[in-house]
Structure 1
Amino acid sequence: MEMKALIGLLLLAGCHGVSSEIYSLKYTLTASSGVSNFPEFVAVGMLNELQMGCYDTNSQKIELNHSWMDQWARDYPDVLKEITSRAQGYYREMKADIEPLKKHFKQTGGVHTYQCMYFCEWDDEDNATDGYEQYGYDGEDLDMKTWIRIFLPQVEWDEADRAFGGYFTGECVYWLKKYLAYGKSTLQRTERPEVSLLQRSPSSPVVCHSTGFYPDKVVVFWRRDGEELYEHVDHGDVLPNPDGTFQVSVDLDLASVPREDWRRYECVIQLKGIEDIFILLDPALVRTNWGKTGPGRDGGVKSEITTPIIIVCVVLLLAAVAAGVIVYKKRKR
């Protein structure tokens, strides 16, 4: 079974839009062997790529990450106990499974990791659901045929597969919706992005960098004279920020475009819940770390004072060296 991509940008008939929201729930379980100073088993629960809680064999309990998860635990204490018991059971099973895996791959000692992931998602517009499981060993995907050959006869796997199919569209989605209800203020909020135009060097592409936005369903693109550009454009991945928001960059190569034509270009940012943002490609707005004009890294404008400061620093440095030489000669005498 191949690892599925989570959620991409929504592109319909060449037109951009951010309409329905797709929510996901993921559990990642990791058992290890031969790893010092690290728990033998770690289980992490993620809601829309936001960590909800974590269990490990060192603490032997589930640590919750948000106040709304604390409230969920107060409302469902028995479920929290059951999940803790499940994690302990998974630990015993996965720890035991490492030996058959080592035998299959003709390994003896060394460091080894065995991972299992359960994933389900729900579309709030058409109520569609999906889900799957994925296994990994020593950092590589473990295809299901190999997994079945090591652990289960085909008949038993067919029965387990049917049971898991019901789990992904039933229990998993049920709790996904429950968690969403508790974390609504966090997970169903909208945060407007901060947008900057960046350029590393005169020959580098101009980067439209958007950061601090939420949710991660964003569309960013360049256009010229109102028409979207597809050539000389490089779309980066949407990446998480430490505070739970996201960032993305889209590069535009302007190597063959005269500087006086830059104003024909603009960066467009579309995020559900806010009006579209348009940033005109004005050379004066481009933040650089080169040249004497244009905003600098800190957003301030570089000026002609930079060179005199450097000259003064060099003169002071030479004076200090000369003074050191004089002192050294006096001490020697």
Structure 2
Amino acid sequence: MKVLFVLLLFCPAASTVTHSLKLLGTASSAIQDFPEFVATAVIDEIQMGYCDSNMKTAEATHDFAKEFVKINPDYLKLYTQECLALAQISKAKIHKLKEVFNQTEGVHVLQRLNSCELDDVTRETVGFDQYGYDGEDLITLDLQTSTWISPKHHMSASQLGWETDKAKVNHSMNGFRAVRSRLLETFVKHAAFLLQRIDLPSVSLLQKSPSSPVTCHATGFYPDGAVMFWRKDGEELFEDVDHGEILPNNDGSFQISVKLNITSVKPEDWRKYECVFQLSGVKDDIVTKLEEAAIRSNEVPGSGFPTGPVTGVILGLLLLSVCIAGLLIWRKNKHGFQLANGGARIIR
């Protein structure tokens, strides 16, 4: 295994929190107007770097990463070299896989997910290296035994064109870990502010109509280590509750929502319910009471068929249209149409 994206090696450390680093590479064939190879490096679900085979150079995509490469310009050159090397390696792997699966034409996609996590308390690092082909799991590297496993196809690594010599695999892995440790030390030195960042969310209660579930929505928080739930009389609810996933926002923060079905909740019992948001690293919970006055609704009052003044306006417009149409027909029948200078005009 090569150094890969050195940006991948940013496996950050922060107090009492496990941080993740992911590299996703995608190689493709026979897709028009799309790069043959694309790769992104992500730290704690925030994209830090990007490259593809068309642009011929890697780029930093986050403000911190941009500042980092300004201070350490040699790293960006190394990222670019690795991107171009991985593009060629991935292209060769797709060619080999098409031979293995007896494929000659059509679109084919090879994806690679390399992930690592570092716990600052235990100083333990765990991770995996996994490939997928045409939307299915293909092969995974077992880091404990330094061997490749293909559980779905039951094919050997050599059949798929992967390196099988354990000595070579171990040598590559050791080099990979050495570079990671060196860059990790540099990264932590410059990125402490990013790893310690904590942003509290804004929490809202939303409802489409009086019969719809009440959604408790939190957005703008960081990091993504958060949970949110409904509780009644201090006890967490599991029935009539629908939990949503944590999703990223465009600014690098996150959002989450949880719905509560209130069809069986009596109005006098609303005060017993509350939405609770908990964020990793923050001692105090954010608690939002279920109160009718706090709910924001999408329903438009009087959303049925318009009556009263609105109906009068509509009928008036219809009557005006009929009158105009009638006037035009009357003028046509009375005066007729005549072609003049190649165009139609009404003779008065």
Rate the CA distance shift 1:285–1:92 in 2: closer, same or farther, 3 A: same
Rate the CA distance shift 1:332–1:202 in 2: closer, same or farther, 3 A: same
Tell whether the 8 Å contact from 1:191 to 1:212 is kept in structure 2 after alignment. Answer: yes
**Aligned pairs, how many?**
301
Q: Which residue matches 1:323?
A: 320
Q: Which residue matches 2:294?
A: 285
Tell whether the 8 Å contact from 1:47 to 1:176 is kept in structure 2 after alignment. Answer: no
CA distance in 2, matches of 1:257, 1:240: 32
Give 1:24-43 correspondences, 5 Å limit: 24-43=20-39
> Does 1:249 pair with 2:285?
no
Rate the CA distance shift 1:170–1:263 in 2: closer, same or farther, 3 A: farther
Amino acid at match of 2:69: A
Residue by residue over 1:199-227, the C-alpha shift from the partner in whole angstroms, topping out at 9 and shown as x without a partner, is 23333322211111111111212111112
Tell whether the 8 Å contact from 2:59 to 2:76 is kept in structure 1 after alignment. Answer: no
> Does 1:211 pair with 2:216?
no
CA distance in 1, matches of 2:177, 2:137: 23
Q: Which residue matches 1:15?
A: none
Residue by residue over 1:141-199, the C-alpha shift from the partner in whole angstroms, topping out at 9 and shown as x without a partner, is 21332471311464x2x335534654675533553454344344344311111111122
Stretches of structure 2 that go unaligned for 5 or more consecutive residues are 1-14, 140-148, 331-348
CA distance in 2, matches of 1:232, 1:273: 28
Secondary structure of 2:239 counterpart:
coil
Rate the CA distance shift 1:282–1:82 in 2: closer, same or farther, 3 A: same
Tell whether the 8 Å contact from 1:262 to 1:281 is kept in structure 2 after alignment. Answer: yes
Residue by residue over 1:96-116, the C-alpha shift from the partner in whole angstroms, topping out at 9 and shown as x without a partner, is 111221122222111111111
Rate the CA distance shift 1:71–1:291 in 2: closer, same or farther, 3 A: closer
Q: Tell me how far 1:267 sits from its aligned partner.
A: 0.9
CA distance in 2, matches of 1:310, 1:125: 67
Q: Which residue matches 1:65?
A: 61
Of 136-145 and 108-117, the range deviating more from structure 2: 136-145
Give 1:100-139 correspondences, 5 Å limit: 100-139=96-135
Rate the CA distance shift 1:111–1:266 in 2: closer, same or farther, 3 A: same
Of 256-265 and 281-290, the range deviating more from structure 2: 281-290
Q: Which residue matches 1:12?
A: none
Residue by residue over 1:243-280, the C-alpha shift from the partner in whole angstroms, topping out at 9 and shown as x without a partner, is 11101111222332212101101111111236211111
Of 95-104 and 307-316, the range deviating more from structure 2: 307-316
CA distance in 2, matches of 1:92, 1:164: 18
Q: Tell me how far 1:233 sits from its aligned partner.
A: 2.2
* Cα RMSD for the two superposed structures: 2.5
Rate the CA distance shift 1:257–1:174 in 2: closer, same or farther, 3 A: farther
Q: Which residue matches 1:270?
A: 278
CA distance in 2, matches of 1:180, 1:318: 71
Q: Which residue matches 2:10?
A: none
Identity among equivalent positions (%) equals: 41
Rate the CA distance shift 1:281–1:173 in 2: closer, same or farther, 3 A: farther
> Does 1:233 pair with 2:241?
yes
Rate the CA distance shift 1:230–1:244 in 2: closer, same or farther, 3 A: same
Amino acid at match of 2:325: Y
CA distance in 2, matches of 1:177, 1:196: 40
CA distance in 2, matches of 1:84, 1:324: 67
TM-score w.r.t. length of structure 1 = 0.81
Secondary structure of 2:238 counterpart:
coil
Q: Which residue matches 1:151?
A: 161
Structure with larger Rg: 2
CA distance in 2, matches of 1:62, 1:259: 58
Stretches of structure 1 that go unaligned for 5 or more consecutive residues are 1-18, 293-303
TM-score w.r.t. length of structure 2 = 0.78
Secondary structure of 1:61 counterpart:
coil
Of 310-319 and 94-103, the range deviating more from structure 2: 310-319
Tell whether the 8 Å contact from 2:44 to 2:223 is kept in structure 1 after alignment. Answer: no
